[in-house]
Amino acid sequence: MLVLTRRAGESIVIGDDVRVVVLDVRGDTVRLGIEAPRSVQVHRAEVYAEVQAANAAASAAADADLGSVADRLQRIARPRPPAGRGQRPGVAHTPKPSPPPDPQEPPDPS
């Protein structure tokens, strides 16, 4: 961390386009003026921490919402077959394969 001493009215420059000016000093309080382009975000540390926490919470909620939306879309994309005989509604039925022919048995002439 760079530590500088400045008096009221003095400033420091950060990069090519950010300027921090000491406006006033009263006891433990220092008033700063910050000149920066609009593309540079400037926040107090406590506000920045709150914004980061809110963004993280919103992102976590969005991820959970996306999971439920994805599940719904998958169900829509693969509709269930209609319920048949001996089948419960909403339960997929996979027919059992027939056993392979016995090699000892002669083929059926029909």
Cα–Cα distance measured from residue 104 to residue 60, given in angstroms and rounded to the nearest whole number: 64
| Residue that wins the pLDDT comparison between 68 and 81 | 68
Cα–Cα distance measured from residue 76 to residue 84, given in angstroms and rounded to the nearest whole number: 20
Q: Which two tokens stand for residue 17?
A: 């386009």
Q: Does the pLDDT at position 40 exceed 90?
A: yes
pLDDT confidence band for 73 (50 / 70 / 90)? confident
Please give the share of the chain, as a percent, with pLDDT higher than 90.
40
So what's the pLDDT on residue 33?
A: 96
Q: Residue 70 in contact with residue 81, Cβ under 8 Å?
A: no
Place of tokens 């926490």: 53
Q: Which amino acid is at 73?
A: L
Place of tokens 């001996």: 86
Please give the share of the chain, as a percent, with pLDDT higher than 70.
66
So what's the pLDDT on residue 77?
A: 77
Q: Does the pLDDT at position 36 exceed 80?
A: yes
